[in-house]
Amino acid sequence: MARLNVKPTRMELSNLKDRLAISTRGHKLLKDKQDELMRQFIDLIRENNKLRDEVEKELTEAMRAFVVAKSLLNESFIEELFAIPDKSVSLNIEEKNIMSVMVPEMNFSVNEDEKESEMQYGLLNSNSELDDSIDRISNILPKLLKLSEIEKTCQLMADEIEKTRRRVNALEYLKIPQLKETIHYIQMKLEENERASITRIMKVKDMGT
Amino acid sequence: MAHKIAVVGDKDSVLPFKILGFDVFAASTPQKARETIDSLADKDYGVIYLTEAMAKEIPDTIKRYDAEVQPAIILIPNHKGSLNIGKDRIQDNVEKAVGQNIL
């Protein structure tokens, strides 16, 4: 390990000792942060994986059903049916702080104008396949929204974990050994100087007698 | 703060989301999709759902928004089935964070 390029003086020694103390404390804190992030991340990513599997499966089925329904109807009718949606979803994003990672916390509220009349389109230009596919998609909605939140959180946490790991490693394997070696070098050098001056004084004394 | 939800993708796949009250943007070409996403990100859209078929063409655009808190770009399969891009992204995250694939 290369030692730092500093002059071996008492001043530097005390400076380096301070830096070593700070680096060690920083390393311990970052290590704790990394461990906690990792613990939470692993729980989240498992859930994310499971949820995505489910959503993808159900969504694909629902979309297939929709395509079948659509093929039975004239395209302009379909567009007319969907022209005015009877629901609106509003989304509130608040930033939540997990171990200094800002993650979005999404709150969804679905406003349905009239809950009792579920199908807001005419019976004439639609068919039961369409009802079915829309039902399915509506059922997926909560899961889909939950997936969005978890997936974004995982994404952000993964970035932060990578960053933290780099910092921890840089401190552990580069900065701290470097400082330790330099401190050792300066201490040795100072002791050597001391011995040299003692010998010199003894020599000078001998000359006097 | 209130945000909106958008769906971007080919017309057949995104139309059913309109009934849920999402804002639907049909994009026929990758170029169009890219422009749509960029303009949506500027407005206050919190979540953008993007079909995987389209996501395959514009990976750099998606990557640009990965580090931002919003918008969250979430991939959805289309009616032809999943292309596994969404799953791959999860695996990538795991590998990036943990160092190896533990799932």
Mean pLDDT over each residue of chain B, to the nearest integer: 83
Could you tell me the two tokens for B2? 């209130």
Residues of A (150-169) whose Cβ lies below 8 Å from B: 151-152, 154-159, 161-162
Residue type at position A128: S
Closest CA to B41 of B72, B74, B1, B20: B72
Could you tell me the two tokens for A95? 């930033």
Looking at residue A116, what is its pLDDT?
A: 46
Least CA distance to A118: which residue of chain B? B19
H helices present in A10-127, as ranges: 10-71, 75-81
Dmax (CA) of chain B: 42
Looking at residue A27, what is its pLDDT?
A: 96
Rounded Cα distance between B59 and B4, Å, is 23
Full pLDDT tens readout for chain B, 103 residues? 678 888 888 877 787 787 777 888 888 888 888 888 888 888 888 888 888 888 888 888 888 888 777 788 888 887 777 778 888 888 888 888 888 877 7
Least CA distance to B97: which residue of chain A? A158
Domains and CATH numbers, chain A: 10-200 (1.10.287.3240)
Nearest by CB to A92, from B2, B12, B89: name it.
B2
pLDDT per 10-residue tile (average), chain A, 209 residues:
85 95 96 93 90 88 82 74 68 82 79 55 70 80 86 89 93 94 95 96 89
Q: Is B43 helix (H, G, I), strand (E, B) or coil?
A: coil
Looking at residue A113, what is its pLDDT?
A: 56
Least CA distance to B19: which residue of chain A? A85
Whether A56 has its CB under 8 Å from any CB of chain B: the answer is yes
Looking at residue A203, what is its pLDDT?
A: 94
What stretch of H or E contains A109? strand A101-112
Contact check, Cβ <8 Å, A159/B96: yes
Closest-CA distance, A48 to chain B, in angstroms, reads: 8
Closest-CA distance, A173 to chain B, in angstroms, reads: 18
ipTM score assigned to the predicted complex: 0.86
Nearest by CB to B5, from A56, A89, A147: name it.
A89
Interface-testing mutation among B91, B93, B95, with chain A (most A C-beta atoms within 10 A): B93
Please give the interface size between A and B, counted as residue pairs whose CB atoms are below 8 Å apart: 143
Contact check, Cβ <8 Å, A63/B86: no
Looking at residue A120, what is its pLDDT?
A: 59
Cβ of B92: how many Cβ atoms within 10 Å? 13
Beta-bridge mates of residue B7: B24, B49
Output the pTM of the full model: 0.81
Please state the separation of Cα A150 from the chain's center in Å: 11
